[in-house]
Structure 1
Amino acid sequence: MKIFEAIKEAVNILKDTETPQLDAEVLLCFLLKRERIYLYLNRIEELDVDIVDKYFKLVDRRKRGEPTQYITGHQEFMSLDFYVEPGVLIPRGDTEILVEEVLKKIESLKKPVVADVGCGSGAISVSIAKYKDDAVVYALDVMPIPLEITKINAEINGVNDRVIVLKSDKLAALEEKIEEIDVIVSNPPYIREDVIKTLMTEVRDYEPYTALSGGEDGLYFYRKITKQAARLLKNGGLLAYEIGHDQREDVTSILVENGFENIEFFKDYAGHDRVVLGWKK
C-alpha cells in the first residue's frame, strides 16, 4: 500500500472525527518518524506491511475516540514540544493566549517568581520559564501524574533548573511565601458538572475528570485560588486565569471581592472571553 492510499483509507475511517485528514497524516508521520511534508513529497512510496498494520491499529484507536495526542505522546504548545499521556490535560491553543499575556506583563521584571496552580503537563510553567529566562516558576499540582509529566517536559525544554515542581493542594505548598510571589497563573478546571456529560467523547472519556470539573457552578477553583492568591502575591502582583466563555462576570466578582483591581480580559480565537488578569491592590 502506498502512502497516499493509506492516508485516503484512514481519512475515510476517521470521517466522523473533527479533523480526519490531519489525524490520518499525524499518525502516519508518528510511525514513520517524519514531518508531514514527507508524505506529500513521497506519496507513492510503498509502505512496509508491518507499518500498514501498525498504522491502522492507531487509526482504529483514534476512531474510537482516543485523542491523537495521547496516541503519539506529543503536543505542540507555544512552539515547544510537550510529552502528554492520559492523566494530564492536553494543552490547547487558547491557553497560549494566557501564557502570552503573562509574558508581556513580566517582561520588565527581574527574576520574577511565578506560581502555576494545577500545572498538568507543565505547558504554562515550562513556556513561561523558556521565554522569560530569569523567571523562577513553581509548578503545583495535587496529582502525581502531572508532577512527573511536568518534570519530563521541563527537562525536554531545558528549563528544569528554574521550574520547581511541588505537590500541592492549590497554593498550600507556598503558604509561607506571603507577599513573595509576583505572578500566580492558572488554567483551573472550570467546566460545570452538568456540562461534562455533553463534551466530545475524546474529552469526556479520555482526559482526566479532575482537570475538567470546576464543581457545580464551575467556579470552585477560582474562589479557592483567588483567596489564597490575595495573601501570597506581592502588592501589585498579578493573578492570571483562563476562564470559560460565560464566566466573565462571575470571575470578575470573585476577583474584586478579594481585593483585585484593574481587571483585564482577552478573547480567544473564536471571539470568546478566555483570559482574565487582575492586580492585587
Structure 2
Amino acid sequence: MILDINSNSKFNENSITENYLQKQVVNNFHILFPEYKILSSEFKLQGDVRKFGISGRIDIFALNINENRLAVFELKKDNNKNILFQALDYTDFIIENYNLIVLSSENLNQNEKDILLKNKLKPEIILIAKNFNHPTIRRIENVENKIKLIEYKSFENDLIYFETVCNKSDNKIVYYKSEENNSEKIDSTNVNLLIKESIKYLDEAYYTVDSNVLAINPTVLYNSFKQIAIKFDLAHLIKKNFLKLIRESNYYLEERKTMRFKDFNTSVILIKL
C-alpha cells in the first residue's frame, strides 16, 4: 500500500499486463533511465537467436550514453526463471552480429557508431520484473555482462514503483537488497574478488601473500575497501560489518593479535585468495 500524506489517500497494489508495463517504461524512459537512449522498442533479431532456433524480439534496445555501450532491456510481468537466459541469448546474438547491428541502426549517429565499433563492449542487460528469486541473483555472478535487476510494484491510480535490487558491473562485484531488512548488502560469495580488488592498488609494504594466503592488518584492508566501495558504487559497510562479512565467508582463515610483519609487529587477518 502507498499512502499519499498530502491527500490522506491510500493506494493498494494491483496487477498489470506485461504489455502495459512495457508501454509505461517506454513512455517514461527518459525519466526512468536518463543515461540511456532508446534505439528501438520490440527490436527484432533475425535468425537463430534462441537456443532452439527461434527468432526473438528485444523488449527495449538502447544505448548507455555514458558508457557508449549497447543495452538490452527485458521485462516480465512476474518472475520468470528464463528471463536471464533469454537476455543472454540476445546479447550473444548481438555480439556475433555486432557490426551489422550497429551500422544498420537508424537511431545511432555516426559518432556513436564509431565509438561503439571501436570499443565493442559487451552489451549491458537490464531486467525488469515483479520479483527476482535468489538463484537468479546467484547466476549472474558467473556472467560477464554488466547486469541490473529492477523490481516493480503497480498500484491503483496508475502508480508504478521501481527499485534496483541487484547491480553487477564488469568486475563481477555484486550488491543487492537484502530481503530481511531491505538494506544493501554485499554478496558474501564475492568476498574473494572484493579483497583482491581492495589490495590491487595498495603498496606491497602493507600486506604479504604467501601460498595464496593474504596477511594484512584489518584496518588497512578496511580503509582500502572503502575506496573500492566508492569506485564501484558498493553498499557502505562499517568496519565491524565488513570484518563480519569476511569472517563468515569461506575465505577466512584466522586472525592473530600480533605477528612479525615486514619491519614491525601488527595484528593481521589471514585470508585465502
Bigger Rg over Cα: 2
Q: TM-score, normalised by structure 2?
A: 0.29
Structure number with the bigger relative contact order (C-alpha 8 A, sep ≥ 6) is: 1
Q: TM-score, normalised by structure 1?
A: 0.29
